[in-house]
Amino acid sequence: MPVKNRFAELLPEITEWRQDIHENPEILFDTVRTAKVVEDKLKAFGCDEVATGIGRTGVVGVIKGKSTASGKVIGLRADMDALPILESTGLDYASKTPGAMHACGHDGHTAMLLGAAKYLAETRNFDGTVVVIFQPAEEGGGGGKEMCQDGMMDRFGIQEVYGMHNWPGIPTGQFAIRPGGFFASTDQFEIRIVGKGGHAAQPNKTVDPIVTTSSLVTALQSVASRNVDPIEQIVISVCSIESSSKAFNVIPDAVTIKGTIRTMSKETRALAETRLKAIATSTCTAFGATADIRWIPGYPAMVNSEEQTEFAASVATEVSGACELADLTMGGEDFAYMLEERPGAYILVGNGDSANVHTPEYNFNDEAIPAGCSWWAGLAERRMPAA
């Protein structure tokens, strides 16, 4: 099953959809226009059911095969939201919304899944049901979690779920995947270190939160180097340090640090939270300061199911001739919430030698569309073969 000829025929049309979405980016749950575009197209394709308002602005389409005797139901998910980035591509179809840009390729994901939905609704060459899922707020809003909390999996009887993301650096239209932990959990922390301020010439009359913070930032790195099994993945980054003083000669009363901890397992994630809180408290106590600690849970680690990963890779190999083992990434992905509810897999499709995602110069490569559409359609036809 190489790239389907039908998607080569549809490429100009799907490209037009993609570039229209690119030109009109929407952030987080404010994907009102995009959701309406998706809804209208799914209805025009003849989907058996189109549901809106799931996870606030999410859209779900149901496509039944020529037969549903197998009782199988698979979900295919694409994300719709953009990023708060000022675009600098200079494209004819560049963002018309200042400060918003499709800098991660969700415009391409949405267009490819729409293309697959059109093909599957035309052919229905499978025995079962396909549920196409268009999700808002992947970029930090947890739209996947909200769609699950709205009962999406049970409402549509989804048994397995699959997702895809474009990836710069992988040859265009090629695929990569890995079983097990793939994307990291993305927790955040904020620690306010409170001491006693004073004159820089009289540090003995202060409890210096700057010195305390300096020790704390260094001590936090011991979580990775001395508390976590060396074969486990963990990244602790302090990304912001702000004090209540802007003067050269004033020791401040307080300092606030902010950062992120990324891990690949529930056990390491729990350990990291426990150790961060203990180290912050004890370090501040040792210097006579106090710590006000705020732990902000983010996305859980995204873990691909073994059997579904093998199946997804086999379909990708049929489409492009090969499917490589993907590297671990410490980035986050809220498809993790769907994989916590159902077995499934997440795959990468090559975007070629392009600018990296989350940069003002990035653009989704439309040449990847036929391969991406073929993979999604192939999942349905291979998982639920027509009698």
Asked if residue 131 lies in contact with residue 158, where contact means CB atoms within 8 angstroms, the answer is yes
Q: How many CB atoms lie within 10 A of CB 146?
A: 21
Is residue 199 marked as binding? no
Integer Cα distance of 106 and 103 in angstroms: 8
Is residue 4 over pLDDT 90? no
Question: What pLDDT, on a 0 to 100 scale, did the predictor assign at position 121?
Answer: 98
Is residue 2 over pLDDT 80? no
Categorize the per-residue pLDDT at 43 as very low, low, confident or very high, splitting at 50, 70 and 90: very high
Is residue 106 marked as binding? yes
Is residue 3 over pLDDT 80? no
Is residue 139 marked as binding? yes
**pTM to 2 decimals?**
0.95
Domains and CATH numbers, the chain: 5-181+302-383 (3.40.630.10), 187-296 (3.30.70.360)
The pLDDT tens digits for 224-237 are 999 999 999 999 99
Integer Cα distance of 117 and 124 in angstroms: 10
pLDDT, the chain, mean:
97
Q: How many CB atoms lie within 10 A of CB 196?
A: 15
Q: Pairing state of beta strands 290-296 and 187-194?
A: antiparallel
Categorize the per-residue pLDDT at 387 as very low, low, confident or very high, splitting at 50, 70 and 90: confident
Is residue 284 marked as binding? no
Is residue 148 marked as binding? no
Residue of 370, 320, 364 whose CA lies nearest to 9: 370
Q: Residue 36 CA to chain centroid, in angstroms?
A: 22
